[in-house]
Chains A and B, each alone.
Chain A
């Protein structure tokens, strides 16, 4: 085994160990819970842990399959996310062609450009071509009511669920000297930092959370959860430096940026949900809500992470 395979192996055995411990804790908590308790915190916790096993398994399979597996996996996640997002928009019958183009042309093309490694195209395709061409398709049907709202909603849906999500597999296209063939570990680093930041915020918030940070957006988020979660996720990121091209402190700094973007991204997505009067984007993943609920923090951190790494490390 070369160092890449060793690192991948270490990573997944570490994750399995953490999940086994989490599952055991969840099992014991469920056993100790009085039968007449109507709190569903523990039930929700166990549903989350179970979903974690499935998610890690899926990501693991995609990693084993390599670059193409990862691209297809995130392409599917974009599709599922777009499906959830579009259901909340004001789009009308007159937007039918626009939506068809978003799902069946823009989304596949974006991932195709990543597949063929065409940075000059995938980095501007949606903000330039899709943003300008889709309103033209919309205007041809002649429906002017709520035009700006409808156009903006579809553009944002594409931005959030396709453009930003596609930055995760795009990490595979970065050329970093001395790190050739190991870029999948960059994805692992990103996803791990984001998700551990989410989990640690949840844990810190449940343990010592008192002061609500944004009561109107997300009643469960607290200042203590935010500070504890972001700081401990930064530490987790720094401790993962061995699988990245970064040094210990660099990895920590990047993890800090990722966690902050993830946190505020989560707030932005909450604001959209509040506005539309829903609690979750869907209920496809038990205990976690919809696909976007699990992706929201990755969505905001992936493009920034990509461009920082590209600027400072890539040739």
Chain B
């Protein structure tokens, strides 16, 4: 009974979140050299706002959204009851502990386990929100380990445009801005490709989708 109640509340909340995101951002997904698919994928994107994965999640077709889970920081998501509920039941986040000293489970293992259970994932390889004037922070090595261990999984670069303007850090009122999520061609680890080379290529793929680099939709 309780389970059912949680399920219903979670599904209603998911829809409310999606409609709110659409109302504020009129978000649209643009698929460049790739089509939406149920195939097992890891979507990796630039990270400027806590709403990033909600936006990415919103533009995924519903049947794909159902099996796609964000990888998120436990220290952010388990701070209040509401956030814990959303994190655990609504978006079913893979919650990882960013602090190597306190953590009991290896984040990479958790991510691989989630993939093996059949989920696709949303990942922000910068590791934290980008508050600088740079377009992106350097990627953490997690994406590389993932590509190495699960070579069959498609790694899909994504660019999220404008969301940082909706709700800059420290503000509480979201401002409606038209936002876009752009998906690029899937990539894999190439034979003999080293960690640095792979991460640099991944960063390049994401940046190539940003509007200043011709990622604007014709």
Contacts and interface: CB of A to CB of B under 8 A. Distances in A.
B173 A100 contact: yes
A103 B175 contact: yes
B15 interface: no
A80 B175 CA distance: 12
A209 to B, nearest CB: 22
A93 B179 CA distance: 16
B168 A80 contact: no
Interface string A264-283: 00000000000001110011
Given A83-B26, A277-B216, A104 B177 contact: no
B28 A103 contact: no
- Interface size for chain A: under 10, 10 to 19, 20 to 34, or 35 or more residues? 20 to 34
Given A278-B216, A283-B217, A284-B26, A96 B175 contact: yes
B177 A87 contact: yes
Contacts of A79: 176
Contacts of B176: 79, 82-83, 86, 103
Contact of B178 (A83, A91, A93, A279): A83
Contacts of B216: 277-278
Nearest to B164: A93
B26 A282 contact: yes
A17 to B, nearest CB: 33
A295 B177 CA distance: 18
Most B CB within 10 A of own CB, among A79, A83, A103, A279: A83
Contact of B173 (A93, A96, A282, A290): A96
B218 interface: yes
B3 interface: no
A279 to B, nearest CB: 6
Interface of A is mostly: helix
B173 A87 contact: no
A80 B217 CA distance: 19
Interface in A43-83: 79-80, 82-83
A243 interface: no
Contacts of A93: 168, 171
Interface string B161-204: 01001001001010111110000000000000000000000000
Interface string B204-218: 000000000000111
A96 B171 contact: yes
A153 interface: no
B168 to A, nearest CB: 5
A290 B178 CA distance: 10
A99 interface: yes
A93 B165 CA distance: 7
Contact of B218 (A83, A104, A279, A290): A279
Contacts of A293: none
A80 B173 contact: no
B213 to A, nearest CB: 13
A82 B28 CA distance: 17
Contacts of A84: 26, 178
Nearest to B176: A83
A202 B26 CA distance: 28
Given A80-B26, A279-B218, A87 B178 contact: yes
Most A CB within 10 A of own CB, among B28, B162, B176: B176
A96 B168 contact: yes
B178 to A, nearest CB: 4
A283 B28 contact: yes
B170 to A, nearest CB: 9
Most A CB within 10 A of own CB, among B26, B165, B173, B178: B178
Interface of A: 79-80, 82-84, 86-87, 91, 93, 96, 99-100, 103-104, 277-279, 282-284, 290
14 contacts: A80-B26, A83-B178, A84-B26, A86-B177, A87-B177, A87-B178, A93-B168, A96-B173, A100-B173, A277-B216, A278-B216, A279-B218, A282-B28, A284-B26
Interface of B: 26, 28, 162, 165, 168, 171, 173, 175-179, 216-218
Given A79-B176, A87-B177, 7 more contacts: A83-B176, A87-B165, A87-B178, A96-B168, A100-B175, A278-B216, A284-B26
Shortest Cβ-Cβ A-B pairs, 8 listed: A87-B178, A83-B176, A99-B175, A100-B173, A93-B168, A87-B177, A96-B171, A84-B178
